[in-house]
């Protein structure tokens, strides 16, 4: 593999199952592409049902001993993992940049974000409690204790190759669960390196198992975990259609589920907003990871009275963004993940232009940089019959709608099957209270574009899924209550 790391042993190229680094049982491998060049630079084991089954056996066998480890010791282990992840943030950042494409500074920032979940859940592990319930009859003691759910299957996406898997594995281990995990086929290397550091931190064999697979084999891995009743919970971040398929697959064995799915976030700027702050917020929310985040604004609504001023400020900022490969220290926007992603972004832009939108800036591919680069784009004069109004673009495109009326814009904002994030900017405290309640989404940014935090419950409603990651609630997703009723004490 052509990638130099300070610690070359973080470049892992095999599965991790039962505490052993091993090839896929069928011996197959698949190619991993650098999205900046759209060229193969590495390969990974192409696992299938046999590898999934072996990982599950290992996780199941390791469960009794791991759940018996005192929570405080699990917490200490997570703190060691957190320290190692932070110590090697440069190497891990390089892996992300190479396989996912985001600029190095942003990739290193993602490592800090990933580590924050590990540190957070180390803290939560040390504070697991239950309830002592006032018994309604004499001579009884009633307790509600929390127990780990069991074996967890974690399926993570390519857009945040470190943070998304960390915020699944860390709470699972904190709760006393064991894990079988599959990272996205585009980004296996960061996940493997994180697992290598977890092993170094002292995670016992079998507690954490990671299997990689090509797009063609992904379903054969996941199907084994869906069908097996020993997997007690599935956690997935990705698209809504895949989430629905997984939920159906979990129905027979009635697994607990966390699904963090697609979004179509509205971003509303009222006429009393601080426009500079609103532009800052939009830039932060929209252009993080080149617009490839589930929470990034997909529809921007700007009040008539400030529309032109806002668009002027926005266009100046967007046009100044530096698009470049991750290796360029000035890069702010990297490539999109693959050709399919570029085609979708371009389809949305061309569809809007064909239906009367005005191109304020951008709107073109950048083949001189590489096949997957696309200009940051602002479109005005947009309308609801355009593709991005009902479909997540997942790229660096900002469509700006005009509005005049609060009730109407709230109805527009909510007029989507999705409900992950919403944002609005206003100085009116009564309006803040009204919109905070009226917007149908799991997260609401109020005069703030950067909402993600390990301390907050992250997740959606409606077609954006259910379950929460981060915060104290993120640990509960990996535990269940057991009610203990002891009689004869009178
Ligand atoms: C996502 O895009 O799925 C997650 C983004 C975040 O954690 O902020």
Residue 310: other Cβ atoms inside 10 A: 23
Q: What residues contact 379, with CB distance under 8 A and at least 6 apart?
A: 349, 352, 353, 357, 358, 359, 360, 363, 397, 398, 399, 400
Res. 1: pLDDT tops 60 = no
Among 141, 48, 110, residue whose Cα is nearest residue 489: 141
For the cut 90, the answer to whether the pLDDT of residue 343 exceeds it is yes
Query: How many angstroms separate the CA atoms of 41 and 461, rounded?
Result: 38
- Ligand 1 binding pocket (C-beta < 6 A) is 159-160, 163, 237, 260, 293-295, 452, 458
Residue 152 to residue 62: CA distance in whole angstroms: 12
pTM of the model: 0.97
Closest by CA to 253, choosing from 224, 274, 275, 282, is 224
Residue nearest to atom 5 of ligand 1 (CA): 293
Residue 456 has phi, psi (to 5 degrees) of: -115, 150
Determine the atom of ligand 1 nearest the C-alpha atom of 458. Answer: 7
Contact between 98 and 3 (Cβ < 8 Å)? yes
Instruction: Please tell me the distance between residue 137's alpha carbon and the centre of ligand 1 in angstroms.
Output: 48
Q: How far is the C-alpha of 152 from the C-alpha of 150, rounded, in Å?
A: 6
CA of 65 to the centre of ligand 1 (A): 33
Half-sphere exposure of 259 (CA within 13 A, CB side): 26
Q: Is the pLDDT of residue 182 over 80?
A: yes
Burial 151-163 (b: 16+ CB within 10 A, else e): bbbbbbbbbbbbb
Residue 105, classed as helix, strand or coil, is helix
CA 237 to chain centre: 6
* pLDDT tens figures, 135-157: 999 999 999 999 999 999 999 99
Cα separation values, 445 from 274, 278, 282, 284, 391, Å = 14, 11, 11, 12, 21
Model pLDDT, residue 3: 81
User: Whose structure tokens read 């005049």?
Assistant: 404
Whether the predicted pLDDT of 122 surpasses 80: yes
pLDDT at residue 2, rounded to an integer: 61
Q: Which atom of ligand 1 is nearest to the CA of 237?
A: 3
Reported as a single tens digit per residue, the pLDDT across 73-94 is 999 999 999 999 999 999 999 9
Residue among 239, 286, 293, 453 whose CB has most ligand 1 atoms within 8 A, to mutate: 293
Mean residue pLDDT of the chain comes to 97
State the average pLDDT over residues 472-488: 98
For CA atoms 415, 419, 421, 424, the dihedral sign is positive
User: How much distance in Å is there from the Cα of 294 to the middle of ligand 1?
Assistant: 6
Asked if 484 and 278 touch (Cβ cutoff 8 Å), the reply is: no
Q: Catalytic amino acids?
A: 260
| Residue 250: φ, ψ to 5° | -90, -10
pLDDT digits (tens, 9 = 90+) for 251-294: 999 999 999 999 999 999 999 999 999 999 999 999 999 999 99
Please tell me the residue having the least CA distance from ligand 1 atom 3.
294
Q: Which of 40, 55, 141 is nearest to 98 (CA)?
A: 40
Which atom of ligand 1 is nearest to 159's Cα?
A: 2
- Give the integer Cα–Cα distance in Å for 296 and 360: 20
3-class DSSP state of 288: helix
Cα–Cα distance, 172 to 151 (Å, whole number): 9
Closest CA to 341 of 218, 156, 186, 183: 186
Which residue's CA is the nearest one to ligand 1's atom 6?
Answer: 452
- CA-based nearest residue to 293, from 179, 458, 138: 458
CA of 420 to the centre of ligand 1 (A): 10
- What is the distance in A from the centroid of ligand 1 to the CA of 372? 21
Q: How many angstroms separate the alpha carbon of residue 269 from the centre of ligand 1?
A: 22
pLDDT reported for residue 347:
98
The two tokens of residue 419 are: 């409900």
DSSP single-letter state for residue 135 = P
Atom of ligand 1 nearest to the CA of 296: 2
Q: Whose CA is nearest to atom 8 of ligand 1?
A: 452
Angle between helices 240-251 and 215-227 (to 10 degrees): 30
- Provide the percentage of residues in the chain whose pLDDT is more than 90: 99
Backbone angles phi, psi at 175, to 5 degrees: -75, -20
Q: Which atom of ligand 1 is nearest to the CA of 451?
A: 8
- The alpha carbon dihedral of 72, 78, 80, 83 has a sign of negative
Judge contact between 287 and 398, C-beta under 8 A.
no
405 burial type by CB count under 10 A (0-12 exposed, 13-18 middle, 19+ buried) = exposed
């Amino acid at each position: 593999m052509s990638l130099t790391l300070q610690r070359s042993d973080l470049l892992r190229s095999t599965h991790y199952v039962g505490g052993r680094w091993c090839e896929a049982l069928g011996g197959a491998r698949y190619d991993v592409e650098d999205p900046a060049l759209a060229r193969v630079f590495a390969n990974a084991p192409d696992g299938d049902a046999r590898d999934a089954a072996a990982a599950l056996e290992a996780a199941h066998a390791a469960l009794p001993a791991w759940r018996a480890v005192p929570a405080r010791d699990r917490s200490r282990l997570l703190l060691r993992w957190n320290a190692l992840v932070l110590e090697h943030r440069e190497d891990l950042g390089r892996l992300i940049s190479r396989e996912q494409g985001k600029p190095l500074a942003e990739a290193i920032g993602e490592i800090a974000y990933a580590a924050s979940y590990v540190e957070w859940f180390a803290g939560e592990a040390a504070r697991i409690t239950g309830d002592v319930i006032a018994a309604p009859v004499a001579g009884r003691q009633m307790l509600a204790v929390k127990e780990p759910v069991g074996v967890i299957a974690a399926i993570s996406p390519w857009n945040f190759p470190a943070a998304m898997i960390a915020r699944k594995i860390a709470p699972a281990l904190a709760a006393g669960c064991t894990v079988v995990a599959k990272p996205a086929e585009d980004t296996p290397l960061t996940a493997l390196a994180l697992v290598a550091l977890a092993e170094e931190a002292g995670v016992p064999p079998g507690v954490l198992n990671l299997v990689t697979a090509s797009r063609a084999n992904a379903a054969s891995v996941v199907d084994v975990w869906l069908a097996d009743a020993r997997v007690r919970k599935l956690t997935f971040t990705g698209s809504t259609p895949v989430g629905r398929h997984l939920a159906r697959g979990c129905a027979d064995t009635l697994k607990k589920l966390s699904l963090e799915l697609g979004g179509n976030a509205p971003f509303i700027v009222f006429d009393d907003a601080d426009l500079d702050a609103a532009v800052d917020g939009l830039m932060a929310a929209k252009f993080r990871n080149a617009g490839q985040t589930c929470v990034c604004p997909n529809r921007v609504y700007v009040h008539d009275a400030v529309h032109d001023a806002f668009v002027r400020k926005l266009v100046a900022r967007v046009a100044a963004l530096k698009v470049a490969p991750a290796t360029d220290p000035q890069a702010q926007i990297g490539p999109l993940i693959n050709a399919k992603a570029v085609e979708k972004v371009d389809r949305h832009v061309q569809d809007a232009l064909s239906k009367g939108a005005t191109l304020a800036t951008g709107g073109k591919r950048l083949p001189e940089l590489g096949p997957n680069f696309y200009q940051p784009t602002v479109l005005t004069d947009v309308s609801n019959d355009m593709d991005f109004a009902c479909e997540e673009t997942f790229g660096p495109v900002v469509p700006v709608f005009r509005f005049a009326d609060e009730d109407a814009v709230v109805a527009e904002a909510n007029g989507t099957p999705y409900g992950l994030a919403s944002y609005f900017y206003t100085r009116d405290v009564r309006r803040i209270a009204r919109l905070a309640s009226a917007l149908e989404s799991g997260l609401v940014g109020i005069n703030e574009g950067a909402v993600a935090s390990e301390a907050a419950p992250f997740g959606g409603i409606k077609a954006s899924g259910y379950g929460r990651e981060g915060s104290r609630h993120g640990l509960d997703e990996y535990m269940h209550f057991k009610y203990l009723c002891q009689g004869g004490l009178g």
